[in-house]
Amino acid sequence: MAEIAAAPTVRIDEPQEVGVEPRGYWVTVGDRLMRDRMTVAVGVMTILIIGLAVFAPFVATYDPLQGGVLRRLKPVGTPGFFLGTDETGRDIWSRLVYGGRLSLICGIMPVLGATWVGGTLGLLAGVGGRLLNTLIMRVVDVFYAFPSVLLAIAICGVLGAGIGNTILSLTVVFTPPIVRVTESLTTQVRSRDFVEAARASAAPLHAIIRQQILPNVLGGMLVYATSLVSISIILSAGLSFLGLGVTPPNPEWGLMLNALRQAIFVNPVVAALPGAAIVITSLCFNLLSDGLRSAMDIKLPS
């Protein structure tokens, strides 16, 4: 009989790709985002818009509040006022970049606030007992009964106009959907085996929520919240349009749209510019949110 070679001393369970750095989930998501050309393009656009808004004093060509009756409603391409002027002679471009600040604040702040409040409520509803869950979710349902636009109008109508009230009313409008999404995610995550294992380890509830449940819920919440930013921009513009949001003479896009309404037969392009700004910004956030969702939907090997 031929002799058998000595048993190789193979170390059991060496991972096959030694030298490949362990990659966390968010690193992988970031990597996938970078590869998606559409998302990168939209991302650049968004950064540009935010940049223009932040650096408005350096980018604007004129004082946004300074008008002149003689240069009312100049068309696009007028030397010095390359996007034209509005109904009181103020430079549209300068008002757009300054207005970007207000619109972005009204877009992002309410979503941040709603995520904070709604996320906490949703988590509590998800991990709490049936009583707590019923309490929170049914209250949320009541708010759901109102269409978001009407709710925003109602709250602003009661509180009065102004940027603070706008942010507050939009926060209230966005909290219920975030509570729902978070509660749903939390309930799903809670039933998974590793959470049961954490419970079995006699760990206190807050540690389980913080280290096991929250990291797995955060991703879904992030996607949803990002998609709300685009809606928030539109809603805040709408509120200003109706006179319930930012007050004149502040250069807010919705307000500009309202003011330029009469000019639509005189200079339609200029009248449409604030609307274009709203659409473009909102679309950018929307597409970013979509890209984020795709990037996070990693089919990890089983």
Partner 1 sequence: MTETAAVAVENLAVRFRQRERTIHAVTGVSFTLARGEVLGILGESGSGKTVTLRALMRLLPTNCEIEGRIAIDGEDIAGATTSRLEELRGGRIAMIFQEPVTALDPVFTIGEQIAETIVRHERTSRREAQRRALDMLERVQIPSAKRRLAAYPHELSGGMRQRAMIALALSCRPSVLLADEPTTALDVTVQIQILLLLRELQRELGMAVIFVTHDVGAAAEISDRLTVMYAGRFVETGSAHDVLRKRAHPYTEGLLAANLHGAEPGTRLTTIPGAPPNLAALPPGCSFAPRCVYALPACTEAPPPARSFGGSHVARCLRAAERLAVPA
Partner 2 sequence: MTGTAPLDQRAIDPRDRGGPAQSLLLVRDLKKHFPTKRAHFFGPRETVQAVDGVSFAVMKGTTLGVVGESGCGKSTTARLLLHLIKPDAGDIIFDGDGVGAPDGISVRDLRLQMQMVFQDSYSSLNPRATIADIITFGPCAAKRSSARAAREHADKLLEQVGLRPALFARRYPHELSGGQRQRINIARALALEPRLLILDEAVSALDKSVEAQILNLLADLRRDLGLTYLFISHDLNVVRHVSDRVVVMYLGRIVEAGEVAAIFRRPRHPYTQALMRAMPSMDPDRRTEAPSLTGDPPNPINPPSGCRFHTRCSFAETVCERVSPPLDPVGGDHDVACHMTVPGSGHSRAAERTAADD
Binding site for partner 2 (CB under 8 A): 11-15, 18, 22-25, 192-194, 196-204, 207-208, 211-212, 215-216, 300-302
Paired tokens of 46: 């968004």
Q: Is 86 helix (H, G, I), strand (E, B) or coil?
A: coil
Give the CA count within 13 Å in the CB-facing half-sphere of 61.
13
Q: Is 293 helix (H, G, I), strand (E, B) or coil?
A: helix
User: Using an 8 Å Cβ cutoff, are 35 and 295 in contact?
Assistant: no
User: What is the closest distance, in whole angstroms, from the C-beta atom of residue 201 to partner 1 in the complex?
Assistant: 29
Q: Would you say 5 or 18 has its CB closer to partner 2?
A: 18
Q: Would you say 2 or 200 has its CB closer to partner 1?
A: 2
Angle formed at CA 15 by CA 10 and CA 17, multiple of 5 degrees: 115
User: What is the closest distance, in whole angstroms, from the C-beta atom of residue 299 to partner 1 in the complex?
Assistant: 11
Cα(78)–Cα(82) distance, rounded to whole angstroms? 5
201 contacts which partner out of partner 2, partner 1, none, CB within 5 to 8 A by kind?
Answer: partner 2
DSSP conformational letter for 82: T
Closest CA to 291 of 33, 41, 46, 48: 33
User: What is the closest distance, in whole angstroms, from the C-beta atom of residue 23 to partner 1 in the complex?
Assistant: 13
Q: Would you say 192 or 261 has its CB closer to partner 2?
A: 192
5 contacts which partner out of partner 2, partner 1, none, CB within 5 to 8 A by kind?
Answer: partner 1
Those residues whose C-beta lies under 8 Å from the C-beta of residue 44, and which sit 6 or more positions away, are: none
**Footprint on this chain of partner 1 (rule: CB under 8 A):** 1-2, 4-5, 7-8, 10-14, 16-17
Q: Would you say 7 or 70 has its CB closer to partner 1?
A: 7
Q: How many residues does the chain have?
A: 302
User: What is the closest distance, in whole angstroms, from the C-beta atom of residue 135 to partner 1 in the complex?
Assistant: 32
10 contacts which partner out of partner 2, partner 1, none, CB within 5 to 8 A by kind?
Answer: partner 1
Q: Would you say 187 or 216 has its CB closer to partner 2?
A: 216
User: What is the closest distance, in whole angstroms, from the C-beta atom of residue 2 to partner 1 in the complex?
Assistant: 4
Q: Is 52 helix (H, G, I), strand (E, B) or coil?
A: helix
User: What is the closest distance, in whole angstroms, from the C-beta atom of residue 8 to partner 1 in the complex?
Assistant: 7
Q: Would you say 1 or 131 has its CB closer to partner 1?
A: 1
Paired tokens of 23: 């990659």
